[in-house]
């Protein structure tokens, strides 16, 4: 049931309490598109208020407003304003802030809107969010509009389910998407698959319904044309020049990946956007003349948050690059030694459906307002409660590493309920609960936490007060906000983010052009890249035991050179790749260069690093398949990536020609890092030394790696010391640059901060993927300087994999916890209609450990006892020893 239908049902139930019911629908559409429609809605209201035959109304909105205000006070009215989009619209129907004082006592105004923030501006007395349709209801409504039937159609069942996911249970989007797909050609299944692929990359349904063409360019006709094409967003803009703008370069975002339009060292000015929450909405500036050549003299960049600039000289003819309701996703124009002209590609501003921010639900009197912001996921929730909810603690995930916990409300006292999520495959979908007013203070009585796998709760006093529910969106909760009052959690809301139906597998790319025949490939064992001055073709090798096609080539048959990427399966796999591409008029799009990064090494660069740069985000995970397009040559390439952790080791990054060293992985943490430089020996890192923490907090100092000269002794150099504040702080990743035969720069990331860059960021970039774990050791190659480096990882004990599940059942009784052992040997259960007790025999490195009895004996001894024996490795060894004897 949608918001309009919900309003209609409410009206039918309470209309007897009013003298007049007026339902004015589609107000937002009337206000934007059709003044005649707005006049029609005003006339409808006046006819119902006055009830006079042949009532004359006016074809003027202001005059009708005066008539409505004069008559609305005479009847107890139930006025429904459906789909309000801005505050001013209430004034047209006598429902504005001042006009509301004129209403007859007992009157009520019911407003429906998609804009939750609008309700705050209107200062409404009460609000209700329609939960939306569950997945099965949503699927039936989608099929009704897309196929004119609610039951599955052969060959479309899975396709319909995947497409309906992106409407998030929202009836309006389900109808719109279904009707949009129904209008496709007879070859609808193929087109449906194409649309599904678009939604996987950009899961915003409203992006399908509107498309904008390019705007501009503004400026002169000289120079060489450039066109960056359309991307998903803009991250950074770099400019050169003073009185005249010389060069402009843009760092784009392509579904989470970096695409850099141009590489040049002379940029003096930068505009860095807080992507993705900040985006460009327009560009303005001036066009002037220089020795008879028209060019761009100044630029201002306008985002949804602020204006940057002006850059250059504000003289000449002004211009404005904008499109109502759009945001800039690419630039085009002409340039020579200066920027001759500039234009832009636009895309509709996507609105996360049905909601981006939900709530908060509860009271609004609390002065302690909290907001955790958005993250990439939730790992753990701990709720403190007694008769009501007292506190909540959330441990978030931020691109593979834990963040928090964020604690709201008092700690200590009462009971706690802990929820461990199997991140990233398990995620939060909704929260429901009850709120109640006690002594004029609204508090949360209970919460139930819903994930895509299960529900936890109710936690607190269930079924007490008024029920609330976060809507079903088809997305995941990535952050919380709310208020606290005194010793209680007063309200809670959430930030949502849409996700593809393939989650947690993500799709990146394809990078390059849009021509050629599409291809995709999985189960990678090796890659052959054939190239001359650009990438001609790519060949994938797979395990013959798992594939009917052990080798397939995509692209042309040329290529004087072949670069072989041979993976050491199953322990080595690709974690990322990057490259360069250019658009050429005669050959279309060509990929100039590719570089592959595995969990052990960097392979490449292959080809010439010229053109637009692209790369997967370093925290993506494990590449499980490639796809793209090819004709006479390789035109584009993309990848499907799944989260993968823990990595046991990552690297080597750099070159490896000298002595190998390995500090091992038997440490518990890294406590100190010492990085040495000697400028007279070049820009390489001369040496690196690690101090590790061992079990029982002992410290272990290792020898220095590198900085050995021809005489085989250590030289004096500049020293950079890094202190890790264990145990609360630990290393989560390492990145840097290497050039020719050495490491030039290192950056260390802990769970709390970024340290670096240390050194000169020159050469080829490398980074370890997000593992969800911590670094406990390093290894590499070194001689006169540090030549290569890698890291040993281990899972973070309180996070991975799942250290506890449950408890399932009630919240009463005395808590018990047997701890952790190597396994379970036996369990004993006494039961009749209920479980009376349970006890265990654990295995602890071959020894039996007997637990206490959890529960009690029944009053009447009618219960049965069952014992279960588990055959463990140690029991097998014991039995083998007895057989030998």
Q: Which residue has the tokens 């504005």?
A: 96
Tell me if 803 is assigned to some domain.
no
- Given 642, 672, 705, the domain boundary residue is 642
Highest-pLDDT range among 79-93, 174-188, 369-383, 857-871:
369-383
More confident residue, 369 or 514: 369
Cα Dmax for the chain: 111
Between 56-60, 246-250, 490-494, 687-691, the lowest mean confidence (pLDDT) is in: 56-60
- Angle of CA points 394, 398, 404, to nearest 5°: 35
Handedness of CA 406, 411, 412, 413 (dihedral sign): negative
Q: Is there a domain that residue 166 lies in?
A: yes
Upstream peptide bond of 63 is cis (omega within 30 degrees of 0): no
Domain assignment present for 210: no
Q: Is 852 among the domain residues?
A: yes
Same domain flag for 629 and 670: no
pLDDT at 481: 92
Q: Which of 176, 114, 187, 168 is nearest to 144 (CA)?
A: 176
Percent of the chain at pLDDT > 70 equals 79
Residues 657 and 782 in one domain: yes
At 201 the three-state DSSP class reads: helix
Q: Do the Cβ atoms of 641 and 619 come closer than 8 Å?
A: no
In a domain, 377, yes or no: yes
pLDDT score recorded for residue 241: 65
Are residues 379 and 282 part of one domain?
no
Q: Is the pLDDT of residue 33 over 70?
A: no
H-run or E-run covering 8: helix 3-14
More confident residue, 377 or 196: 377
pLDDT(713) > 60:
no
Percent of the chain with pLDDT over 90: 5
pLDDT of residue 646: 52
CB 181 within 8 A of CB 195: yes
* DSSP result, 131-152: ----HHHHHHHHHHHHTS-SS-
**Range of lowest pLDDT (216-225, 458-467, 870-879):** 870-879
Range 711-715, long-range pairs (CB < 8 A, 24+ positions): 714/687, 715/678, 715/681, 715/686
Range with top average pLDDT, 111-125, 572-586, 828-842: 828-842
Decide: helix, strand or coil at residue 33.
Answer: helix
Cα distance between residue 610 and residue 621, in whole Å: 27
CA distance 496 to 498: 7
Helix H segments across 60-207? 61-71, 116-122, 135-146, 157-165, 171-182, 188-201
Q: State how far the Cα of 403 lies from the Cα of 374, in Å rounded to an integer.
A: 11
Q: Which residues of 396-418 are buried (b: 16+ CB within 10 A; e: fewer)?
A: bbbbbbbbbbbebbeeeebebbe
**Three-point CA angle 358, 361, 366, nearest 5°:** 120
Same domain, 753 and 673: yes
Residue position matching structure tokens 């899961």: 203
**Rounded to whole angstroms, how far apart are CA atoms 45 and 68?**
8
**Residue 46 host element (H or E):** helix 35-50
Instruction: Kindly state whether residues 520 and 453 are assigned to the same domain.
Output: no
Q: Is 594 exposed, middle or buried (0-12, 13-18, 19+ CB in 10 A)?
A: buried
* Among candidate residues 190, 130, 203, the one with its CA nearest the CA of residue 164: 203
Q: What is the pLDDT of residue 342?
A: 92
The tokens for 13 are: 């139930």
The better pLDDT of the pair 512, 824 is held by 824
pLDDT, tens digit, 9 for 90 and up, residues 106-147: 888 888 887 766 777 777 777 776 666 777 788 888 888 888
Please indicate, yes or no, whether residues 661 and 787 belong to a single structural domain of this protein.
yes
Q: Which of 43-52, 775-784, 859-868 has the highest mean pLDDT?
A: 775-784
What domain range includes position 114?
3-122
680 shares a domain with 547: no
What does the alpha-carbon distance between residue 214 and residue 330 come to, in Å, rounded to a whole number? Answer: 9
Query: pLDDT of 592-610, one tens digit each?
Result: 999 888 877 778 788 888 8
Q: Is the residue at 95 inside a domain?
A: yes
pLDDT, the chain, mean: 78
We report the CATH number of the domain holding residue 288 as 2.100.10.30
325 inside domain: yes
559: left (phi over 0), alpha (psi -120 to 50) or beta: left
| 645, pLDDT greater than 60 | no
Residue 338 has pLDDT above 70, yes or no: yes
Residue 116 and residue 65 in one domain: yes
3-class secondary structure for 774-810?
EEEEEEEEECCCEEEEEEEEEECCCCCCCCCCCCCCC
Q: Is the pLDDT of residue 376 over 80?
A: yes
**Do 338 and 402 share a domain, yes or no?**
no
Residue whose structure tokens are 């090494």: 601
Per-residue pLDDT of 658-677, as tens digits, reads 677 888 877 888 889 999 88
pLDDT at 90 over 60: yes
pLDDT above 70 for 804: no
Instruction: Report pLDDT digits (tens) over 681-708.
Output: 667 888 899 988 876 656 666 667 876 5
What is the total count of domains within the chain?
Answer: 7
pLDDT at residue 828, as a whole number: 92
Eight-state DSSP code of residue 14? H
As a whole number of angstroms, the distance between CA 110 and CA 4 comes to 11
Task: Kindly calculate the radius of gyration of the chain based on its CA atoms and give it in whole angstroms.
Answer: 32
Last residue of a domain, one of 122, 150, 179: 122
What is d(CA 721, CA 708) in angstroms, rounded to the nearest whole number? 19
SS3 93: helix
pTM: 0.53
The residues, any chain, with a CB within 8 Å of residue 806's CB and separated by 6 or more, are: none
Reported confidence tier of residue 884, pLDDT bands at 50, 70, 90 = very low
Question: In which band, very low, low, confident or very high, does the pLDDT at 885 lie, cut at 50, 70 and 90?
Answer: very low
pLDDT at 411: 73
Task: Identify whether 813 is part of a domain.
Answer: no
Same domain, 684 and 761: yes
Dump pLDDT digits (tens) for 340-357.
899 999 887 765 444 577
What is the model's pLDDT at position 841?
A: 92
Report pLDDT for 803.
47
Which long-range contacts does 412-416 make (Cβ < 8 Å, 24+ apart)?
413/384, 413/386, 414/384, 414/385, 414/386, 414/390, 415/384, 415/385, 415/386, 415/811, 416/382, 416/383, 416/384, 416/385
Q: What is the pLDDT of residues 612-626, one digit of tens each?
A: 888 876 655 788 788
Pair of tokens at residue 366: 């609390």
Strand runs (DSSP E) across 501-621, as ranges?
506-512, 517-522, 526-531, 535-541, 551-555, 561-566, 574-584, 588-598, 602-607, 612-615
Question: Helix 35-50 and helix 61-71: axis angle, to 10°?
Answer: 20
Among 319, 348, 377, the domain-final residue is 348
Please check the confidence at residue 849 and state whether its pLDDT lies above 60: yes
Q: Strand, helix or coil at 198?
A: helix
Q: How far is CA 408 from CA 413, 489, 573, 678, 697, in A?
A: 14, 7, 41, 49, 32
In DSSP terms, 58 is beta-bridged to none
Cα–Cα distance measured from residue 406 to residue 394, given in angstroms and rounded to the nearest whole number = 5
Same structural domain, 610 and 675? no
Tell me the C-alpha to C-alpha distance, in Å, between residue 193 and each of 140, 347, 745.
19, 22, 45
Distance CA 785, CA 432 (A): 59
Least confident of 505-514, 544-553, 732-741: 544-553
Give residue 267's pLDDT.
56
How confident is the model at residue 876, as a pLDDT?
Answer: 43
Q: Does one domain contain both 424 and 550?
A: no
Higher pLDDT, 877 or 793: 793
Please state the rounded mean pLDDT for residues 203-219. Answer: 73
């Amino acid at each position: 049931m949608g918001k309009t239908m919900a309003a209609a049902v409410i009206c039918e139930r309470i209309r007897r309490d009013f003298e007049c019911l007026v339902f004015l629908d589609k107000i937002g559409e009337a206000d934007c598109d059709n003044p005649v429609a707005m006049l029609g809605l005003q006339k409808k209201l006046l006819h119902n208020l006055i009830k006079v035959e042949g009532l004359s109304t006016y074809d003027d909105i202001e005059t009708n407003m005066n008539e409505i205000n004069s008559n609305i006070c005479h009847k107890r009215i139930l006025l429904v304003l459906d789909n309000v989009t801005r505050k001013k619209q209430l004034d047209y129907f006598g429902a504005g802030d001042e006009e509301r004082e004129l209403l007859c006592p007992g009157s009520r105004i019911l407003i429906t809107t998609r804009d939750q923030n609008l309700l705050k501006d209107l200062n409404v007395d009460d609000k209700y969010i329609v939960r939306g349709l569950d997945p099965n209801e949503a699927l039936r409504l989608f099929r009704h509009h897309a196929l004119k039937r609610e039951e599955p159609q052969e060959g479309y069942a899975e396709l319909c389910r995947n497409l309906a996911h992106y409407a998030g249970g929202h009836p309006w989007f389900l109808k719109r998407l279904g009707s949009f797909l129904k209008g496709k050609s007879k070859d609808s299944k193929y087109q449906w698959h194409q649309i599904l692929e678009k939604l996987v990359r950009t899961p915003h349904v409203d992006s399908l319904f509107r498309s904008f063409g390019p705007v501009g360019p503004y400026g002169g006709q000289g120079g060489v044309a450039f066109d960056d094409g359309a991307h998903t967003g803009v991250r950074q803009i770099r400019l050169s020049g003073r009185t005249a703008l010389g060069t402009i370069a843009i760092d784009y975002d392509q579904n989470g990946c970096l695409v850099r339009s141009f590489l040049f060292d002379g940029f003096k000015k930068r505009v860095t956007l807080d992507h993705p929450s900040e985006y460009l909405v327009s560009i303005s500036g001036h066009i002037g003349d220089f020795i008879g050549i028209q060019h761009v003299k100044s630029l201002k960049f306008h985002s949804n948050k602020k204006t940057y600039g002006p850059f250059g000289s504000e003289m000449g003819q002004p211009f404005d690059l904008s499109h109502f309701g759009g945001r800039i996703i690419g630039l085009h124009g002409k340039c020579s030694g200066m920027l001759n002209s500039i234009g832009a590609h636009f895309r509709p501003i996507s609105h996360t459906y049905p909601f981006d921010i939900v709530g908060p639900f509860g009271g609004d009197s609390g002065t302690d307002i909290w907001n955790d912001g958005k993250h990439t996921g939730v790992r753990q929730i701990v709720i403190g409660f007694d008769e009501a909810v007292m506190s909540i603690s959330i441990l978030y995930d931020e691109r593979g590493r834990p963040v928090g916990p964020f604690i709201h409300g008092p700690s200590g006292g009462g009971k706690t309920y802990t929820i461990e999520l199997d991140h990233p495959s398990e995620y939060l979908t909704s929260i429901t609960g009850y709120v109640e007013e006690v002594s004029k203070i609204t508090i949360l009585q209970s919460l139930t936490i819903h994930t895509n796998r299960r529900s936890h709760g109710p936690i607190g006093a269930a079924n007490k007060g008024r029920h609330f529910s976060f809507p079903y969106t088809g997305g995941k909760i990535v952050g919380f906000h709310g208020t606290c009052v005194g010793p209680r959690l007063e309200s809670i809301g959430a930030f949502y983010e849409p996700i593809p139906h393939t989650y947690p597998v993500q799709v990146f790319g394809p990078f390059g052009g849009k021509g050629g025949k599409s291809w995709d490939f999985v189960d990678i064992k090796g890659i052959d890249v054939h190239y001359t001055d650009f990438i001609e073709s790519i060949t994938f090798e797979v395990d013959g035991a798992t594939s009917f096609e052990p080798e397939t080539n995509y692209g042309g048959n040329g290529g004087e050179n072949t670069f072989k990427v041979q993976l050491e399966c199953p322990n080595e796999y690709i974690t990322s790749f990057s490259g360069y591409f250019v658009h050429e008029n005669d050959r279309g799009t060509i990929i100039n260069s590719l570089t592959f990064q595995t969990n052990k090494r960097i392979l490449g660069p292959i080809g010439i690093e010229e053109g637009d740069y692209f790369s997967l985000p370093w925290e993506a995970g494990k590449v499980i398949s490639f796809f793209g397009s090819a004709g006479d040559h390789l035109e584009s390439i993309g990848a499907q990536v799944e989260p993968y952790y823990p990595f046991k080791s990552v690297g080597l990054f750099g070159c490896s020609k000298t002595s190998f060293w390995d500090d091992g992985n038997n440490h518990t943490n890294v406590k100190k890092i010492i990085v040495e430089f000697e400028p007279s020996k070049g820009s390489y890192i001369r040496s690196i030394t690690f101090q590790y923490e061992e079990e029982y907090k002992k410290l272990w100092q290792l020898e220095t790696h590198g900085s050995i000269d021809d005489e085989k002794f250590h030289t004096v150099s500049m020293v950079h010391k890094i202190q890790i504040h264990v145990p609360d702080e630990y290393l989560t990743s390492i990145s840097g640059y290497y050039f020719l035969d050495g490491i030039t720069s290192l950056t260390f990331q802990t769970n709390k901060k970024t340290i670096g860059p240390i050194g000169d960021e020159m050469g080829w970039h490398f980074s370890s993927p997000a593992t969800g774990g911590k670094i406990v050791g390093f290894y590499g190659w070194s001689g006169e300087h540090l030549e290569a480096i890698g890291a040993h990882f281990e899972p973070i004990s309180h996070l991975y994999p799942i250290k506890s599940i449950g408890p399932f059942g009630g919240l009463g009784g005395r808590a018990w916890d047997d701890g952790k052992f190597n396994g379970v040997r036996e369990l004993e259960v006494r039961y009749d209609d209920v479980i009376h007790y349970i006890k265990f025999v654990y295995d602890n490195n071959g020894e039996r450990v007997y637990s206490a009895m959890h529960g009690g004996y029944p009053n009447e001894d009618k219960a049965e006892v069952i014992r279960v024996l588990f055959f463990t490795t140690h029991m097998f060894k014991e039995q083998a020893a007895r057989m030998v004897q």
